[in-house]
Chain A
């Protein structure tokens, strides 16, 4: 590991391991829905082992930004690379940007474990079936191997005894832990979380944050949209504060939360006390 100062990119304020390979890179991302410009030029670099938290008030574009990384939303312009591979885009007959190769997008998506605010477990499958669905039917992992790994993951998130239960019979906290295990089951390079605790009753938030904290502790690469400021401060290597589709402030959580430079971040932090 070299200690040369230039190894640290200037636009990358906090990184756990400064010269680790880049896991996700976003350059000058724009996204609009019709006339509405939602993301107006956002860049981000997450290196392997980084936990990047994205904060900001509701409607600031956090979800849209996250969903552009795995192409659930198609960026209007800008570049997205995952594991050094840039997602190739082209323009369709109407001049709209579309992926040049959906196969590439599908392949890259299997390296991004997404966790949704509303869990989105497949309700016609048991918890175990939810976990092996993608490994078996997309990644073509042998079934026995997928089951073995899934059971280990369920034990890890404390749901071993729920493996044959359908999602409708789980609490919100259990569903979200199962959803995290489902994302881990594809052995992703990067985990993407979109407000994983916002749909939960307050007393269930803790059990989910504990699972995410464990993942952070084992240095998993994660991009986390959250409203849990205390949690973001504790687990992140880098925090990005989005305001109206632009990065208003970014940096080390400690510095940003202790003395925010911008008035907007100050107000935002005060409002989330």
Chain B
């Protein structure tokens, strides 16, 4: 069973917990305690106070990389998906090609190509070195953010293509029949309808995006995962930091899943 299914929120109209549910919860609580108590008592946590600030920074980095790359990635995914449904054919081909390349290659590879390829090209170009952008381009995070964004755009471009295509013809036709211009139809009916349709998929994909962020540690960005690596190097403590970040990722995932579930519940396009 994957993490995502474990973390799926209970449906709102769940019956009140009866005795068997109560019993099951007690069992889970007991198992949880059986894990947590030895972890706290038997393992080494003395390093923790020294790294709290770094952890806070790492968590923040993981979160904003996830949210910004998903947000901007979705903005790109919308036109990428749309032109594949509406044409024109040359644009559709470009969009299709982009999705195919992004989905066909590892994110790690894309990140390294950008960072070690593009990133090592820029210093060779004098006018870039001299421009104000250099302060940003010489850092690692722009390449991390860019590769995560393009990756999200590639996967979600495909999702949005499917979502646009699956909006019932009749609902679009109704918009046209009542005098909507093509742009109004897109803005008021087609796009929102497609987004709500895609929401469950986007929820899962955004969780995956969060869990792709540790790759940025390979290009020197300090996210949560990089903090754990740093602690290992500094203190030779291996398991405890990893356990801690596992819990941190689960909490962040839980929050994401809940946020999407809240969004989905707001507009029940489908029944039940």
Binding site for B on A (CB under 8 A): 70, 72, 102, 106-110, 112-114, 116, 118-124, 133-134, 137-138, 166, 168-169, 183, 186
Interface residues of B in 171-199 (CB under 8 A from A): 171, 173-181, 184, 188-189, 192-193, 196
Smallest beta-carbon distance A144→chain B, Å = 19
Smallest beta-carbon distance A235→chain B, Å = 22
B180→A106 contact, CB < 8 A: yes
**Alpha-carbon distance between A199 and B196 when the two chains are bound, in angstroms:** 26
Smallest beta-carbon distance B206→chain A, Å = 20
A-B contact pairs, 7 of them (CB 8 A): A107-B179, A109-B176, A110-B178, A122-B175, A123-B193, A166-B267, A169-B268
| Number of B residues, CB within 8 Å of A | 23
Smallest beta-carbon distance B235→chain A, Å = 53
Interface digits, B251-272 against A, CB 8 Å rule (1 contact, 0 not)? 0000000000000000111110
In the complex, B87 has a CB within 8 A of chain A? no
For A137, the closest partner residue in chain B by CB is: B188
Residue from B181, B268, B270 with most neighbouring chain A CB atoms (10 Å) = B268
Smallest beta-carbon distance A68→chain B, Å = 12
Contacts of B188 in A (CB 8 A): 133, 137
**Alpha-carbon distance between A168 and B271 when the two chains are bound, in angstroms:** 6
For A188, the closest partner residue in chain B by CB is: B178
For B197, the closest partner residue in chain A by CB is: A124
**Alpha-carbon distance between A122 and B169 when the two chains are bound, in angstroms:** 11
**Alpha-carbon distance between A112 and B269 when the two chains are bound, in angstroms:** 27
**Alpha-carbon distance between A108 and B173 when the two chains are bound, in angstroms:** 15
List 12 additional contacts besides A72-B176, A106-B180; criterion CB under 8 Å: A70-B177, A109-B179, A112-B177, A114-B177, A116-B177, A120-B171, A123-B269, A123-B270, A168-B269, A168-B270, A169-B268, A183-B178
For A107, the closest partner residue in chain B by CB is: B179
A138→B174 contact, CB < 8 A: no
Smallest beta-carbon distance B256→chain A, Å = 22
In the complex, B32 has a CB within 8 A of chain A? no
Smallest beta-carbon distance A241→chain B, Å = 25
In the complex, B123 has a CB within 8 A of chain A? no
Select which of B177, B181, B189, B270 is within 8 A of A72 by beta carbon.
B177
B271→A138 contact, CB < 8 A: no
Contact A116/B179 with A124-B267, A168-B270 known, Cβ cut-off 8 Å: no
A72→B193 contact, CB < 8 A: no
Interface residues of B in 130-176 (CB under 8 A from A): 168, 170-171, 173-176
A122→B178 contact, CB < 8 A: no
B178→A72 contact, CB < 8 A: no
Select which of B170, B179, B189 is within 8 A of A110 by beta carbon.
B179
**Alpha-carbon distance between A70 and B176 when the two chains are bound, in angstroms:** 9
For B176, the closest partner residue in chain A by CB is: A72
For B189, the closest partner residue in chain A by CB is: A122
Residue from B170, B171, B177, B180 with most neighbouring chain A CB atoms (10 Å) = B177
Contact A124/B178 with A166-B268, A168-B269, A169-B268 known, Cβ cut-off 8 Å: no
Contacts of B175 in A (CB 8 A): 122
Residue from B168, B173, B174, B180 with most neighbouring chain A CB atoms (10 Å) = B174
